[in-house]
Amino acid sequence: MMHPQQVALNDATEWVGEWHPLAEQLGSASGLLELASVSRYLRLPLVEDVASLKRFLHRYQRQILARFELPAIFASQRHSERNELRELIALDRRLAGRPLLSLFSGPSRRIGRWQLMKLRPLRDQRIVQRYLAAVERGEADGWHTLVYGLTLAVYSLPSRQGLAGYAHQVTRGLIYTAARELRLSERDCREIFDEFSNDFPAIIDRLIHEELSREQAHQFPGPCDNDLPLIYGSKLNSNRPDESE
């Protein structure tokens, strides 16, 4: 019998694969996978073969997943666990100010609000009801990463497990979305996934260590205004690119 926490984690990660904003854009074109403004920001050509897909995944992992999404999820979870609505809304607004994220803000907000509405019946969860009310009043956008972090907090899911579930599910979703256009085999997809998932444990450990160290130092517990992610500077990612790299 599956553990209740595992059931909750499966429910939380189920909607971040093919419903991820980038997956939605990847699958939106007929024929070639046009990434439009996202590809332009990442300085990538169209995804039209395995090599270009791998380049896209590498840039996505470095510049979006590790730099913005995972830190935002972890910060959202921490704020939600402490019922820190003001800090959660502030984080929401900072994400809105990021040019790269604004390129797929529409799908992110749509997905986030859809999932947030599924949490509405949890009347005893004050942070859910207050954040939902803030979104409905237009005070927050309801980014899918923040709603995912909120979901982890609501179901008391371990941070590492939740972050890994997100990274795995999104990477898998992007690969399989591209596979439909590139006609990749199941084996091709698994090999690409294995290649790009090897770094996840180190990325997540680094993120959690840095963020908890900041909390212990009585600094703001989450992504700051000028430096959302803190994982760059590690041996894994020693050269931190500019946001538009």
Q: Is the pLDDT of residue 234 over 60?
A: no
In a domain, 23, yes or no: yes
Per-residue pLDDT tens for 9-27? 444 445 444 445 544 444 4
In a domain, 207, yes or no: yes
In a domain, 127, yes or no: yes
From the list 187, 184, 195, the residue with the least C-alpha distance to 57 is: 195
Contact 107, 21 (CB under 8 A): yes
Q: Comparing 51-65, 100-114, 149-163, which segment has the lowest mean pLDDT?
A: 100-114
d(CA 57, CA 104) in angstroms, rounded, equals 16
> Domain total for the chain?
1
Tokens 């939106």 sit on residue: 28
From the list 75, 60, 78, the residue with the least C-alpha distance to 23 is: 60
The dihedral formed by the CA atoms of 90, 96, 99 and 105, expressed in degrees to the nearest 10: 150
d(CA 235, CA 245) in angstroms, rounded, equals 19
What are the backbone dihedrals phi and psi of residue 82, each rounded to the nearest 5 degrees, phi first?
A: -100, 10
Contact 127, 80 (CB under 8 A): yes
Six-digit token string for 52: 């270009």
In a domain, 154, yes or no: yes
d(CA 233, CA 210) in angstroms, rounded, equals 11
In a domain, 230, yes or no: no
pTM of model > 0.75: yes
More confident residue, 127 or 16: 127
In a domain, 227, yes or no: no
In a domain, 124, yes or no: yes
For position 21, what pLDDT does the model report?
Answer: 53
Q: Is the pLDDT of residue 50 over 90?
A: yes
For position 196, what pLDDT does the model report?
Answer: 94
d(CA 104, CA 121) in angstroms, rounded, equals 28
DSSP output for 149-202: HHHHHHTT--HHHHHHHHHHHHHHHHHHHHHHHHT--HHHHHHHHHHHHTTHHH
d(CA 35, CA 18) in angstroms, rounded, equals 15
Residue 146's domain comprises: 4-216
* H or E element at residue 26: helix 21-26
Q: Comparing 105-114, 150-159, 199-208, which segment has the lowest mean pLDDT?
A: 105-114
DSSP output for 205-222: HHHHHHHHHHHHTTS-SS
In a domain, 231, yes or no: no
CATH number, residue 93: 1.10.4190.10
pLDDT band at residue 239 under the 50/70/90 scheme: very low
DSSP output for 97-138: T-HHHHTTHHHHHHHHHHHHHHTTT-TT-HHHHHHHHHHHTT
For position 241, what pLDDT does the model report?
Answer: 41
For position 48, what pLDDT does the model report?
Answer: 84
